[in-house]
Amino acid sequence: MPDTTVATLNLFNRDAEWERRFPLVVEQLLELRPDAIGFQEIDLMLDQGMWIARRVNGGMPERPHYRMRHAASPGRMASLHGIGTATRIECLEHEILDLMTHDRIAQRLVLSVEGSAFVFVNTHLHHPPEAKDDRVRQLERIVDWLDRDDRGLPTVVLGDFNSYVEEPAVAFMKSRFRSAYETVHGKEPDWTWTTPVNKWDNSPNGTLDYIYVSPHFEVLDSQLAFNQPSPDDADLYPSDHIGVWAKLSY
């Protein structure tokens, strides 16, 4: 059975000294080199995703290189709330779903490893702590979308769910999928948000970022990523979020 490595990271768009954070994202992505990574809060006006892809590809002598596929928010925050997926493996399909509330979207890609296809979904749900029901409705829309495909492909759904572990959105996802990190460690991370990069939001620290997988997958490993600060500044991280990665077999 083929193996694949997937990851997720909210980039925090251009905020908090992006020019200084950018090399950290590149360095740590070069160390990880997942087959596919979903980014949230990509600044499309800055072409942030392509900045990353070009720099990472320039540091990789081997091929295949990363290719970015973007999706723009339908609202006024299109430049800041874009999402994007970078892949080094074959992409067979790419669709974008409007979640119909709060200008949120999801990407659905069908990717292939050694001729075996799987579905990869990247999303970023509505953020206010009190919007718990909104996040569940957004996830219901994603799952309904997935259910319209009758091929029964292995499926990964990942991103910034803006949902603490005790929230109904997490329970909803775990009624159908497994959390890759929890499968390996027996619990979710203590936190994936926030790092010292974010000096504006005083919401409680906690886990907001997840990789959910369908029963088709064996989870070989899952760890945190993009969690190393600058060697020159202990408060400078790649983002205000910590990323998550998982190695899967299917």
Looking up residue 127, the CATH number of its domain turns out to be 3.60.10.10
**Average pLDDT of the residues in 133-156:** 98
Note the pLDDT tens digit of each residue in 8-53: 999 999 999 999 999 999 999 999 999 999 999 999 999 999 999 9
Residues 6 or more apart whose Cβ sits within 8 Å of residue 5: 32, 33, 34, 35, 36, 245, 246, 247, 248
Note the pLDDT tens digit of each residue in 224-236: 999 999 999 999 9
Adjacent-strand bridge partners of 178: 213
Give dist(CA 124, CA 159) in Å, integer: 6
pLDDT of residue 122: 98
pLDDT of residue 187: 98
Give dist(CA 19, CA 135) in Å, integer: 32
| Domain range enclosing 165 | 3-249
Q: What angle do CA 241, 176, 179 make, to 5 degrees?
A: 35
Per the structure, how many domains does the chain have?
Answer: 1
Q: Spell 136-147 as b/e; 16+ CB within 10 A means b.
A: bbbbebbbeebe
Cβ proximity of 96 and 89 under 8 Å: no
Three-state DSSP class for 54?
helix
Kindly report the pTM of this predicted structure: 0.97
What's the pLDDT band for 1 if we cut at 50, 70, 90?
confident
